[in-house]
Amino acid sequence: MRIFVGARIFDGLAFRDDCALVTQGATIRALVPYADRPMGETVDLGGGLLTPGFVDWQVNGGGGFLVNAAPTRETLRAIVDAHRRFGTTALAPTVITDAPEVLEATLQAAREPMDGSLGLHVEGPFIDPRRKGAHPLNHIRAMSEADARRLIDARVCVVTLAPASVSLELMARLAAHGVVVSLGHSEATAEEARACFDAGARSVTHLFNAMSPLGHRAPGVVGAALADPRVYAGFIADGIHAHETAGRLAFRLKGPERLTLVSDAMPPAAGGPDSYELNGRKVTRRGLSLTLDDGTLAGAVITLHDAIRYAVQKLGASLEDALRMATSTPARLLRVGDRHGVLRPGARADLVHLGADLSLRGVWFGGEAVQ
């Protein structure tokens, strides 16, 4: 048994002052007043904040590794490990549009549970070619009945798709089997997007990016998502993928209950090199931008730790709300809020220690310090 003391505690929803966190092995046992703490091994944090581990549902790569480049279990493990060092203790490895054999290999690699992985995020190929972004056009295709069955059988966590390539019936079937259906890379009208939400889509992927924009006569996917209180939105908080003003608008309309921070991380994130190949095309880092040679954005270089600081500094979010958007809110979207993104009895002892300046001081995964 370990007792964590000496820091202000954020439990996933609110701050708890003058408390101690008690862990037993890989699990949280209790959150108690400091005066009532039990005897045991004491970890004195010496100030700062203790929070749940961060939860990221869009992670293409990190630490020099990319899911698409080598869709193996070893690659997934390397990406999970790289982001864990920066406080993300639960994530969804993300495979983007590619050849059918790449998707199949990734599904096979992710078949068995892996500590730190919440299951695969399949972003494409079932998207709209008019909003392909950096996805290769030649591999974009419509979803078949067999595709839907394969994703369900593989227990995929999230599928990003567009109504141009997927019927409402297949969306509803995926949702009924527990897959988080997220609209993205879509030129859909607001009416089409709303029909998807009615069919079971729960979120939109990287809000504002690769989707029909908000216009006062044509609200598009952006408008439909911002207006619908049922819908979660992933937001890449790096100041590159969306203007600060757009981020402030999204935060004001969705709030910390429905806006989730995501990294959309690529290999340069979490300590990787400044360039890599994506489907045979070179991607280069310039500051916080990752672009193809034609200037197309191709993912991000941030971690959720970076996103939290951006939300506080640029979006006007309180520290409490910024932390919620990286912990309990994405965990709730992914239906893992009983085990991840919270500090409560029975949850995993995945912890992050932040300094008062939000610097990263320590990470514990399943109760053990991450080196």
Q: What Rg value do the Cα atoms of the chain yield, rounded? A: 20
Choosing from 264, 306, 321, 350, the catalytic residue is 264
Both ends of the chain: CA-CA distance in Å?
Answer: 20
11 catalytic per annotation? no
Residues forming beta bridges with residue 66, ordered by sequence position: 61
Phi-psi region of 139 (alpha: psi -120 to 50; beta: other; left: phi over 0): alpha
Contact (Cβ atoms closer than 8 angstroms) between residue 22 and residue 37: yes
The position carrying tokens 């990319």 is 66
Residues 261-293 as b or e (16 or more Cβ within 10 Å = b): bbbbbbbbbbebeeebebbeeebebeeebbbbe
By annotation, the residues acting in catalysis are: 264
